Amino acid sequence: MKITTWNINSVRLRIDLVTQFLKQEAPDVLCLQEIKCLEDNFPFKAFEKAGYGNLAVSGQAGYHGVAIASRLPLKKIEKREFCNKGDCRHIAASLPGGIRVHNFYVPSGGDEPDPKKNDKFAHKLEFLDEMTDWFSTLGARSKSVLVGDLNVAPHEHDVWSHKQLLKVVSHTPVEVEKLGRVIDSHGWVDVARELVPETEKLYSWWSYRARDWRASNRGRRLDHIWVSPALKKAALSEGLDGFRIHDDVRGWERPSDHAPVTLKLSL
């Protein structure tokens, strides 16, 4: 089973890129974040034409929003609200074989990494705390996959400069610590760092502000795929052949600032 996560930064604006990616890479499941549209305005027909007629959408007008597009049947669709904000930042569905996929778009947190001065940062920290509380209730046999734009780059080499970004939202110690608690809450396996040593640079996002993003390479690893302990063997059995950050897609015309990330589960 091939699962891809991608912050698309407006699915309607970039539907041609999405359909190009689906044709080229043919994942079984595509999880999108920041779709930036209501469910009624989601481009269902384009996905159906591409062979992805099984869809679960939780959308908002203009910002946020998540969706799952699948060639496989989707069951038990769930949309969970966090922090009583009414934001559409989570959607889950069950796939054949008892696999449960959780698709998240964690709040970015604004610019000031101080919850007393910045409500957006306080919201982000509260969101991560609620994720920890929820996933601590999952049983040991749960076959779950957690994907999405989690807006935290946890390790030193998940950012272009650890020293310069320690006080920049997405890599501050408090965010890293809280994301670690989410991981520990269910024993989640961070697939990327199981396969790629923490000493190697690894990014999935590059700012639009860079004139030449590839030359400057000031990236961050904000997009994640985790699996529950019961799926660790299935997630790692193909090694690096089963995991990919599609940085070439970041170079397509009018791209998202995030690259898709794919995992093959050997079930």
Q: Is the pLDDT of residue 98 over 90?
A: yes
The total domain count for the chain is 1
Instruction: Say if residues 11 and 35 touch (Cβ distance below 8 Å).
Output: yes
Query: d(Cα 27, Cα 122) in Å, to the nearest integer?
Result: 35
Instruction: Residue 189: name the closest of 147, 238, 133, 242 by CA.
Output: 147
> Listing from the earlier edge strand, what are the strands of the sheet with 223-227?
75-78, 90-95, 99-105, 144-149, 223-227, 189-190
Average pLDDT, whole number, for the chain?
Answer: 97
User: Torsions phi, psi of 69, nearest 5?
Assistant: -115, 130
How many helices (H) and strands (E) the chain has is answered by 8, 14
User: Torsions phi, psi of 160, nearest 5?
Assistant: -70, -25
Q: Is the pLDDT of residue 140 over 80?
A: no
Q: Which segments within 211-253 are labelled E, that is strand?
A: 219-220, 223-227, 243-245
Q: What is the DSSP string of 230-246?
A: GGHHHHHTTGGGGEEE-
Q: Is the pLDDT of residue 152 over 90?
A: yes
Q: Which pair of tokens denotes residue 59? A: 């959308």
Q: What pTM value is reported for the model?
A: 0.97
Least confident of 93-97, 136-140, 241-245: 136-140
For the stretch 18-73, pLDDT in tens is 999 999 999 999 999 999 999 999 999 999 999 999 999 999 988 899 999 999 99
For the stretch 248-259, pLDDT in tens is 999 999 999 999
Q: Is the pLDDT of residue 85 over 90?
A: yes
In this prediction, residues 153-172 reach a mean pLDDT of 98
Q: Which residue has the tokens 């601590």?
A: 136
For the stretch 10-27, pLDDT in tens is 999 999 999 999 999 999
**Residue percentage of the chain with pLDDT more than 70:** 100
Domain at 249, CATH number: 3.60.10.10
Query: In 3-state terms, what secondary structure has residue 260?
Result: coil
Q: CA of 27: how far to CAs of 69, 91, 103, 261, in Å?
A: 10, 18, 15, 11
Structural domain of 167: 2-264
pLDDT for the residue 61: 86
Identify the band that residue 211 occupies on the pLDDT scale cut at 50, 70 and 90: confident
